[in-house]
Amino acid sequence: MVMNPVKAQDVWKDIGEHVQFTVLELNRQDQAAEQQAIMDFADRYQAILRSLRIRDADGDLKVAFGFSSDAWDYLFPNAPKPKELEPYRTVSGPKYSMPASKGDLFFHIRARDEAVVYEAMNQFRRFLKDITTVVDETKGFRYFEGRAIIGFIDGTEAPSVEDAANFAIIGDEDPVFENGSYAFAQKWKHNMDFWGQLTTEEQEKAVGREKFGDLELDDEQKAPNAHNVTSKAEIDGEEQKIVRMNVPYSDPAQDNTGTYFIGYSRHWEVTKLMLKNMVNKDDYLLTFSDILSGQLFFIPSRPLLDTIADGQFNK
């Protein structure tokens, strides 16, 4: 088996015009019935996507669907498990923490048309509503020029599309789960009044880049806890990368504005190291943000979803 991005789900950097993140929790009332419902859903999931891509050929629908560690153990107790799939535990530093939250099933849906996003989740719900409870549903959007809600260009350090596969999808180090991906989902709420009162120069020092032109600042110009300093991960002296997106969400009249962060990685250990560095080095973004949720999910390859649908995987 060879790494093949065509066999992966949509774990690439493409924010989309309209975005929805949905996290569900299994009811855990009838294990056999819930296992069967997941098999039925896996059987129909990819057909739903094919149908919607025909119905709106210009919609550019992309979806990633996955399972948490606890969900995997409950749904597939007799099956092998991805090597790095584990329950996410709260990551804490001297001043800040990144809390863990509930969640068994995860959807990341994006498209050019909100109607396509709606229809996808509405059809998914028909198969899952009787066995799950909604933990969180967050609607995001593309901000001007694809910028993060704090006004900076998003994802400059993420690998290019041509190189993304090596950083986003699992290879032959875990053959059963090749072409899968580890997704870390995290919801931030920002104090935008605080951020808006900073000068552009202060904001640039906090992020480590120029706000308009996106050029990286020289090291001596950055704050010691600039975001692009603290979020860097190195292993054996080599910088590691993941495919990451910061998706804005907001209910402005309610002063509820933030970022839904999603990071897809070949190795969960890389993402976890980034999180640890951010809290241990007091990342500047944490000074005006509350982190509301965080959970790790495994995104199976499309062929593995077919195997789950066939009922052969858990035997």
Catalytic residues: 154
| Residue among 32, 13, 17, 127 at smallest CA distance from 77 | 32
Strand ranges in 214-255 using DSSP code E only, listed in sequence order: 233-235, 238-240, 243-251
CB 178 within 8 A of CB 299: no
3-state secondary structure 151-184: CCECCCCCCCCCCHHHHHCCCCCCHHHCCCEEEE
Residue 149 to residue 154: CA distance in whole angstroms:
9
φ/ψ bin of 28: left (φ > 0), alpha (ψ from -120 to 50), beta (otherwise) = left
Residue 194 to residue 115: CA distance in whole angstroms:
35
CB 285 within 8 A of CB 15: no
CB 177 within 8 A of CB 169: no
